[in-house]
């Protein structure tokens, strides 16, 4: 579809395909796509294609002919009855993004972002990452035959994610600093022309990530959920979900949007603090800390967009402790057989907390977006829930443990 890049703050149309911010005001960029021809379609018309990111290609600002795809999206929407019972709600649906090709929702953005890199003739792609962005970019760069460099904060990347980036052949560079430092460095390298930046500040990434919302609506036969909970780190994803609903409204496929609830970890909650004060901008958190490394972000790149998404949808920002995150992760695993990494469990912890606070009615239709797979961070599992019994290699010894 025809599309163009525009400054989200001042409205300037931006021509430079490598720009990661507005050349005039420094603001965040966004994409506008001509969705006119979608108005004459019915949502079910798209169902001739398998569910996944590219079912919604008419909403995407790249040409599908050159698509770099690993068949991302099309993830399950689980009806978690047991969890709902524990929380005290009738229904909780879990959109399990851990089922994507590299195990997180980042693949939705990367298939579009790397396709864009090919379209503009980039040879090297790069990102700063708490882990999942680098795992995803490394895989899509491999598929596309592009060189890839990823910059990671030393000591704070989960083992599974690091292994993926190394495995797919990216140049993996660890810096003594946090994510915010890594992003500052890679943005400078991109500005100097050394690489095409594929962090979520790149407006093509959110375009792919919109599809998680399209899929949820598709899977619910377009019956609107009341609330969607999702973890917020750099806030690209909550913005993407909001943008998707806005677009569906603009073409008349839906009339209103669900309330978006952005969940942050207590030690890393700049958006929650801003929301509590009713502000549309935020103060960065100097030293963010949380077990949920994927949302250990002090200075969220799309933080202002997140606040707009939250206010406009009538939602809220909410923080949960590391203890609440780990409890939610365990409960989801043990009650439903669904394995997610800590950041993803923040959305479940958010529902539990709001329910406890008496702010959810029992009949609400709640969707939690669970962003990444449990295998991403095996160390947290072994540290928090791990118990392996060791005995002699004898039937008696083993039986004693089983029949206990
Ligand atoms: C990237 C990521 C997040 C945070 O998403 P943002 O778009 O940065 O807010 C949450 N959970 C997981 C598993 C992630 O990989
Ligand atoms: Zn501008």
Residue 147 within any structural domain of the chain = no
Q: What is the pLDDT of residue 247?
A: 98
With tokens 């979608």, the residue in question is 38
Residue 180 banded pLDDT, cuts 50, 70, 90:
confident
pLDDT at 155: 86
How deeply is 145 buried, as exposed, middle or buried, from its count of CB atoms within 10 A (0-12, 13-18, 19+)? exposed
User: Does pTM surpass 0.95?
Assistant: yes
Structure confidence by residue, pLDDT tens digits, 235-286: 999 999 999 999 999 999 999 999 999 999 999 999 999 999 999 999 999 9
Which residue(s) pair with 260 in the sheet?
228
Q: Does residue 291 lie within any of the structural domains? A: yes
Q: In the predicted model, what is the mean pLDDT of residues 343-356?
A: 98
By DSSP bridging, strand 3-7 and strand 29-33 are antiparallel
State mean pLDDT over 211-234.
Answer: 98
Considering the domain boundaries, does residue 179 fall inside one?
Answer: no
Q: Of the residues 97, 128, 132, which should be mutated to test ligand 1's pocket, given the most ligand atoms within 8 Å of the CB? A: 132
pLDDT score of 16 more than 90: yes
At residue 404, the pLDDT reads 76
- Ligand closest to Cα of 26 equals 2
In a domain, 3, yes or no: no
Distance CA 198, CA 133 (A): 8
Residue 293 lies in a domain: yes
* Ligand number nearest to the C-alpha of 239: 1
Residue 45 lies in a domain: no
pLDDT for 137-160, tens place per residue? 999 999 999 999 999 999 888 999
CATH of residue 219's domain is 3.40.50.1100
For ligand 1, atom 13: residue with the closest CA: 372
What is the structure's pLDDT at 386? 77
Q: How confident is the model at residue 36 (pLDDT cuts 50, 70, 90)?
A: very high
Asked if residue 235 belongs to a domain, the reply is yes
Q: What's the CA-to-centroid distance between 96 and ligand 1, angstroms?
A: 13
- Dihedrals phi, psi of 67, to nearest 5 degrees: -55, 130
Q: Which atom of ligand 1 is nearest to the CA of 230?
A: 10
Confidence of residue 193 (pLDDT cuts 50, 70, 90): very high
Per-residue model confidence (pLDDT) at position 387: 84
Going by C-beta distance under 8 Å and a sequence separation of 6 or more, which residues neighbour residue 32? 3, 4, 6
> How crowded is residue 391: how many other Cβ atoms within 10 Å of its Cβ?
11
> Which pLDDT value is given to residue 184?
94
Q: Is the pLDDT of residue 26 over 90?
A: yes
Mean pLDDT of 121-137: 96
Write down the H helix ranges in 80-203.
Answer: 81-87, 106-119, 132-144, 159-167, 179-191
Query: What is the model's pLDDT at position 156?
Result: 81
- Tell me which residue range forms the domain holding 288: 77-102+205-384
Protein residue with least CA distance to atom 14, ligand 1: 294
The protein residue whose alpha carbon is closest to atom 2 in ligand 1 is: 294
> What is the share, in percent, of the chain residues with pLDDT greater than 90?
96
Ligand nearest to the CA of 292: 1
> From ligand 2's centre to the CA of 55, what distance in Å?
32
Locate the ligand 1 atom nearest the alpha carbon of residue 97 and give its number. Answer: 13
Number of domain units in the chain: 1
- DSSP E strand stretches across 21-146: 29-33, 77-79, 91-96, 124-128
Contact 125, 137 (CB under 8 A): yes
389 CA → ligand 1 middle, Å: 34
Summarize pLDDT for 63-117 with one digit per residue, the tens.
999 999 999 999 999 999 999 999 999 999 999 999 999 999 999 999 999 999 9
- As a whole number of angstroms, the distance between CA 51 and CA 156 comes to 34
pLDDT for 201 equals 95
Ligand 1 pocket, Cβ-based, cut-off 6 angstroms: 104, 106, 132, 200, 231-237, 294-295, 341, 343-344, 371-372
């Amino acid at each position: 579809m025809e599309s163009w890049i525009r400054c989200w703050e001042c409205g300037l149309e931006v021509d430079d395909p490598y720009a990661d911010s507005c050349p005039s005001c420094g603001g965040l960029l966004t994409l506008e796509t001509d969705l006119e021809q979608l108005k004459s379609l019915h949502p079910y018309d798209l169902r001739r294609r398998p569910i996944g990111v590219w079912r919604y290609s008419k909403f995407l600002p790249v040409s599908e002919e050159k698509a770099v795809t690993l068949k991302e999206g099309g993830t399950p929407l689980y009806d978690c009855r047991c969890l709902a019972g524990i929380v005290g709600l009738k229904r909780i649906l879990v959109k399990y993004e851990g089922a994507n090709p590299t195990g997180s929702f980042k693949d939705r953005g990367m298939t579009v972002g790397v396709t864009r890199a090919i379209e503009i003739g980039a040879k090297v792609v790069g990102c700063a990452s708490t882990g999942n962005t680098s795992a995803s970019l490394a895989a899509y760069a491999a598929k596309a035959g592009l060189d890839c460099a990823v910059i990671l904060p030393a000591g704070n990347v989960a083992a599974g994610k690091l292994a993926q980036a190394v495995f797919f052949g990216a140049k993996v560079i660890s810096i003594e600093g946090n994510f915010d430092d890594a992003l500052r460095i890679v943005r400078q390298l991109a500005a100097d022309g050394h690489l095409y930046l594929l962090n979520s500040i790149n407006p093509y990434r959110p375009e792919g990530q919109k599809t998680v919302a399209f899929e949820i609506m598709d899977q619910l036969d377009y019956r609107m959920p009341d609330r969607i909970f999702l973890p917020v780190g750099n806030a690209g994803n909550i913005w993407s979900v909001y943008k998707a609903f806005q677009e569906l409204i603009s073409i008349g496929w839906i009339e209103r949007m669900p309330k978006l609830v952005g969940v942050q970890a207590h030690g890393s909650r700049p958006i929650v603090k801003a929301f509590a004060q009713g502000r549309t901008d935020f103060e960065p958190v100097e030293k963010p800390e949380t077990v949920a490394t994927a949302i250990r972000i002090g200075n969220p790149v799309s933080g202002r967009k997140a606040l707009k998404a939250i206010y406009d949808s009538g939602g809220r920002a909410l923080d949960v402790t590391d203890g609440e995150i780990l409890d939610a992760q365990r409960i989801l695993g043990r009650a439903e057989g669904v394995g997610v990494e800590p950041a993803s469990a923040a959305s479940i912890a958010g529902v539990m907390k709001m329910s406890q606070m008496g702010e959810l009615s029992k009949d609400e239709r709640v969707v939690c977006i669970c962003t990444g797979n449990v295998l991403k961070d095996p160390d947290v599992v072994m540290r928090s829930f791990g118990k392996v019994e060791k005995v002699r290699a004898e039937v008696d010894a083993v039986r004693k443990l089983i029949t206990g």
